[in-house]
Chains A and B, each alone.
Chain A
Amino acid sequence: MMSLTDESTDAYRRQKVYDSREGAAGGDGATAGGGCGCE
């Protein structure tokens, strides 16, 4: 509960929404590259 971040697989699925639906991804340790059909 006191972790600074979500559990890693939970963080990934949430961050994927933000990275693919908002034009402000990347730059903070997460990659702005990679890709999938939902981009």
Chain B
Amino acid sequence: VKTWSLLVWLPWVAVVALTGDVRADGSASSFSDAEILPSSGSELRLESVMMRLSGFEQNGTGYQSQAGPVLGPGSERLTVFEPQLEVIATQGDRLRHRLWLPLDVITEASPNSIARQRPDTVSGASRHLESGTIDWATTYKQSPVLSFLMHSGIHLENPFRSWNAGAGATRAFADQNTVVTAGVLGVLDWFDKFYIDGTRHGRTERSTTTGDVGVTQILTPSTVANVNYGLSAQEGELGNTWNSVPLSLGVRGPELLPTERVRHALVGRLAQFLPWNGAFRGYYRFYADDWGIVAHSLEGQLMQRLTPMLYIGGLYRFHTQTGPYFFTTLAPIEATLRTADSDLAPLQSNTIGGKIVGDVPVQGLVHILHFEVEYDRYFRSNDLTMNIATCAIGLRF
């Protein structure tokens, strides 16, 4: 009900903002923003508001799911409905705030099948789950070439709490042609622990610490490149606790994972303007961790401007990964580490997508009305597909 009320609310925000300067006599306002809003140097000034609505529909099977035969793969059917709101405001000349509120409404076949065997109110709640995040980031511009970022957030859902906080810095060199960034982020997750029959066994937690450093370089007047390296260290319960593993005895047992994980990722990005009013965006990511997963992801986006206000884009992404050394679809009973999670299996995935994006100049309080419509199709080599549709409305003041 809350989500649908948001759907009704979003278009009205756009309408009210677009007509913000209409007067009783019908004439347009002749006052500038600066004349209407006196500047004292510290007041909040709205820069943009972005509202996005996404829907995910997933189908497929995985051996961790109990929504199927005892030893066979079970259903991974999942639907997610996800509204997001992002507000960006400046405060004087030096401070910039970003407030971001994503929500998720999820229904999922796998926990649903657990609750059917032994219903309880907590795991029952996770069959149909609502979650939300409040995330606030502030950037302080120390000088034209040096900025600092502070970031904090809280995530709430029925059986899950998560807190995060981080800090970072950005330094520009060579007349802003080179930008170096560095940051750290800590996350603490605190969540219900279930056995695979749906019974609850108190609470458990995990922590994640991430550090990253990157360089962005303007290579030519029409080419920008970025390289970023990141390291994450995790400790605690690293699974969702209700995933199961088929055992050679003909029954299912719980997933058994290590309690530590160290992850490395190296990312390269490239943006190239094309002379026919188009642009190419390339992305490559190498990933390795101490569970034995090695992954490569390659993505390309082509965009073509059709009119000064409208462009279209197409996307293709390919991903391949190895599995952890303890991945199995039928584990011996004596195995001390085991997972049958299809997300951790050796796999290849593909994403294809297309979008239409518009930026329409308007008169009044709002200067630009931004809109996007996009569809992506995600499909994996181990029986999983996803349809993703998203649309967004943005107001730039």
Residue ranges of A at the interface with B (Cβ–Cβ < 8 Å)? 1-5, 7-10, 12-14, 16-18, 20-39
| A34, B50: Cβ atoms closer than 8 Å | no
Q: Which residues of B contact A1 (CB under 8 A)?
A: 278-279, 303, 305, 311
| B contact set with A: CB distance below 8 Å | 50, 52, 54, 56, 78, 80, 82, 84, 86, 100, 102, 104, 106, 108, 111, 126, 129, 131, 155, 157-158, 160, 162, 164, 183, 185, 187-189, 191, 206-208, 210, 212, 214, 216, 224, 226, 228-232, 234, 240, 261, 263-267, 269-271, 273, 278-279, 281, 285, 287, 289, 291, 293, 295, 297, 303, 305, 311, 319, 321, 323-324, 341, 343-345, 347, 349, 351, 372, 374, 376, 378, 380, 384, 386, 388, 390, 392, 394
A23 to B271, CA, bound (A): 27
Q: List 9 A-B contacts (CB under 8 A).
A: A1-B279, A4-B226, A21-B386, A22-B295, A23-B324, A24-B295, A32-B208, A34-B155, A36-B104
From the candidates B261, B265, B392, name the one contacting A10 in the complex (CB within 8 A).
B392
A26 to B97, CA, bound (A): 24
Chain B nearest Cβ from A11, distance in angstroms: 11
B86 touches A29 (CB 8 A): no
Contact B271 A37 (CB under 8 A): no
- The answer to whether A32 and B279 touch across the interface, beta carbons within 8 angstroms, is no
The distance in angstroms between the C-alpha atoms of A7 and B129, with both chains bound, is 27
